[in-house]
Amino acid sequence: MCGISGALDSPRYNASSANQLLRRRGPDGCGYWTSVDGRLALSHVRLSIIDTSSAGHQPMVTPDQRVAMVFNGEIYNFRELRTELEADGYRFNGHSDSEVLLYLFARDGSECFGRLNGIFTAAFWEQDKGLLTLVRDPIGVKPLYYSESANGFSFASEMKALLRCGVVQPHLAAHAVLAHIGFLWSPGRDTLVRDVHKVLPGHVLRVKDGRIISDEPYRPLKFNRLSAPKTVAAAADAVGMAVRTAVERQMVSDVPLGAFLSGGLDSSAVAAFAQQHREKQGAGTSGRLQCFSIEVRDGSTAAEGFADDLPYARRVADHLGVDLHVVQAGKEMMNRLPEMIYLLDEPTPDPAALNTLLISELARSQGIKVLLSGSGGDDIFTGYRRHYAFMQERWWANLPQTLRRGLAQTTSLLPVSSPLTRRIRKAFQYAGQDADKRLVSYFLWANPGDALSLLSPDLRAGLTAEDLFSPMLKTLGELPAAEAPLNRMLYLECKHFLADHNLNYTDKMGMAAGVEVRVPLLDLDLVDLACSLPSNLKQHGRIGKWIFKKAMEPYLPSDVIYRPKTGFGVPLRHWLQTILKPLAEDALSESSLRARGIFDAAAVRELRNRDHRGQIDATYTIFSLICLELWCRQYIDGNYALDPNL
């Protein structure tokens, strides 16, 4: 796991500065490479996980100097691929997956990417062709940003390496600002910065003479790629075996490895199979698995609609015989909010990112460099509350539009003081819209019209509320019209909520502590299996992840498997009214808003007043405005929370 960057025909790119800005991703070493003609520069910082010797040093170049590579991530099936290459006459200097990937690309070109099972981004320079190729793993576990402009082409694992090196100026993209208010993240290729974009999950970019010449998918996410098991029992067995295989596959490491453990089904399943694998391997990996969780004090999560995690985490740890280390955190964690925004590159208003950072820091302090995460189970098997709410549409979706609009108007009168009424309001808020817009609406945190009204007149010029729906409606257009409704929602989960939000903050927060976070539940074979299962095996009445839960019944206590759904967050509503109130008053003051010129001060004031009166629940919208201002203070004004002198 590493950090990569580079530039083609871009004289402003500074390799040394880029590596300094990415050094948290790779505290174990760094390297540079420049092409003979000086047109291309590659940089790399290394977190040594597999083959910690110098044989794994990057950038890596083939013996004939034809292909150079920088690579970030892990290829879990590299041993099988290495055996194939050795049979074909290739000789290796070390035992890293990096060297395997280099030779595989040198032999097969971009055709090799569809054969990789892993989490990765990489850049390859073919000297004889003058061609730069970028690739990102199919689920988007690892981030990769790029910029194409008159200053040439540049890329990096983190956006800060492009912004702070002076390659790109931080001019805001108005539609992305709107997306950050509406969704809390920007879906798809675009970022908050007009000239910086994301390589899409499962895509290959080819660049020649400083310009992108192609951008194509190499392994699209498809439903029904495999034949589904014929019975419930067979499906449960297949899921259990696939999860076990994924966990074991992703435990390859030459350094200490641990796991997140929240006490929910996903992390508990990963920990269960990881501990069993350690025991099966014997003396080589003997001992108890080291697991990590967090306890957030200073405010009840019940007001947020969640059950407490920690009692379940301890229950699972005792059941599995693993060691559980708990981070004790409270309101003081909000002191690190500017730091969180800096590390994320994007103003993601989700305090769960801080939880991930704190856990990763604790793990690293105990010598753990790899953590297994349960992320992804809800996104491929269902499990979020919106999945159940969406499936309830079958009872009313075919009503005439006038009646559906009436539902929306009636439920909008419900109070926002309790989690239940908040969820009912949200479930019917867009009942009058067409099917695809309703589907997208389940990901919204702010009404599109309200979100647009918050922008200043200059910024919202040329935008409409419909622009908020457009990127995700385009994504839905990639699916066959007859695709099952629940699969359409899960497609958006994987393409956007995972790649653009959840996995993005998980990667950035883990790497900020020098910890590689792996996600076994997003193993490609497991994802393919989940996509082959019928909807009723995933969302079974009120029970999300039903077939996954059936699969884990032999391994985990029933009260853990069927526990209430919880979140990985903090009591944000309470904190905004108490410890975060001074920050809100400062960041969202009329003078601050007018000076920044992004938001309409009067509209922001009205939003806060309506929230204070209990007419709406605008907690996350308000928090998103605060985080956007904190981002601007750093990346536009230069008042960085970290690395101020780099």
Q: What is the pLDDT of residues 546-563, one digit of tens each?
A: 999 999 999 999 999 998
Q: Note whether 180 and 276 are same-domain residues.
A: no
Contacts of 349 (CB under 8 A, 6+ apart): 180, 184, 620, 623, 624, 626, 627
pTM attached to this predicted model = 0.94
Contacts of 359 (CB under 8 A, 6+ apart): 260, 292, 293, 294, 327, 371
* 638 CB-contact burial (10 Å; exposed 0-12 / middle 13-18 / buried 19+): exposed
Q: Is residue 583 part of a domain?
A: no
CATH number for the domain that contains residue 245: 3.40.50.620
pLDDT of residue 415: 85
Q: Note whether 58 and 148 are same-domain residues.
A: yes
Mean pLDDT of the 608-630 span: 94
Q: Note whether 193 and 241 are same-domain residues.
A: no
Please write down the HEC assignment for all residues of 101-160. HHHHHHHHHHHHHHHCCEEEEEEEEECCCCEEEEEECCCCCCCCEEEEECCEEEEECCCH
Q: Note whether 202 and 132 are same-domain residues.
A: yes
Q: Is residue 391 part of a domain?
A: no
Mark 199-220 as b/e (b = at least 16 C-beta within 10 Å).
bbbbbbbbbeebeeeeeeebbe
- Total domains present in the chain: 2
Q: Note whether 152 and 294 are same-domain residues.
A: no
Q: Is residue 225 part of a domain?
A: no
CATH number for the domain that contains residue 63: 3.60.20.10
- Bond from prior residue into 59 cis (ω within 30 degrees of 0): yes
Q: Note whether 277 and 354 are same-domain residues.
A: yes
Mean pLDDT of the 597-623 span: 94
Tokens linked to 266: 């996903």
Q: Which of 561, 577, 594 is the last residue of a domain?
A: 561
Q: Is residue 369 part of a domain?
A: yes
Mapping DSSP to helix (H, G, I), strand (E, B) and coil, where does residue 402 land? helix
Q: Note whether 78 and 115 are same-domain residues.
A: yes
Q: Note whether 132 and 267 are same-domain residues.
A: no
Q: Is residue 407 part of a domain?
A: no
Q: Note whether 245 and 323 are same-domain residues.
A: yes
Q: Is residue 444 part of a domain?
A: no
Tell me: pLDDT of 49 over 80: yes
- Of 444, 431, 421, nearest to 392 by C-alpha is 431
Please write down the HEC assignment for all residues of 67-79. EEEEEEEEECCHH
Most confidently predicted of 304-318, 429-443, 539-553: 539-553
Q: Note whether 248 and 289 are same-domain residues.
A: yes
Tokens linked to 272: 């269960």
Contacts of 600 (CB under 8 A, 6+ apart): 453, 454, 455, 456, 457, 593
Q: Is residue 466 part of a domain?
A: no
What is the CA 529 to chain-centroid distance, rounded?
Answer: 21
Range of the domain at 92: 2-217
Of all residues in the chain, the percent with pLDDT exceeding 90 is 83
The DSSP bridge partners found for residue 207 are 132, 212
Mapping DSSP to helix (H, G, I), strand (E, B) and coil, where does residue 36 land? coil
Q: Note whether 208 and 294 are same-domain residues.
A: no
Could you give the residue ranges of the DSSP H alpha helices within 370-523? Answer: 377-381, 385-391, 401-411, 419-428, 435-441, 448-454, 457-460, 470-476, 485-492, 503-512
pLDDT of residue 304: 52
What average pLDDT does the chain have?
Answer: 93
Distance CA 31, CA 39 (A): 17
Tell me: pLDDT of 303 over 50: no
Could you give the residue ranges of the DSSP H alpha helices within 324-392? Answer: 337-344, 352-365, 377-381, 385-391
Helices 352-365 + 503-512 axis angle, to 10: 30
pLDDT of residue 154: 97
Q: Which of 536, 561, 586 is the last residue of a domain?
A: 561
Q: Note whether 22 and 82 are same-domain residues.
A: yes
Q: Which of 506, 538, 561 is the last residue of a domain?
A: 561
The least confident of 101-105, 265-269, 301-305, 635-639 is 301-305
Mapping DSSP to helix (H, G, I), strand (E, B) and coil, where does residue 85 land? helix
Q: Is residue 247 part of a domain?
A: yes
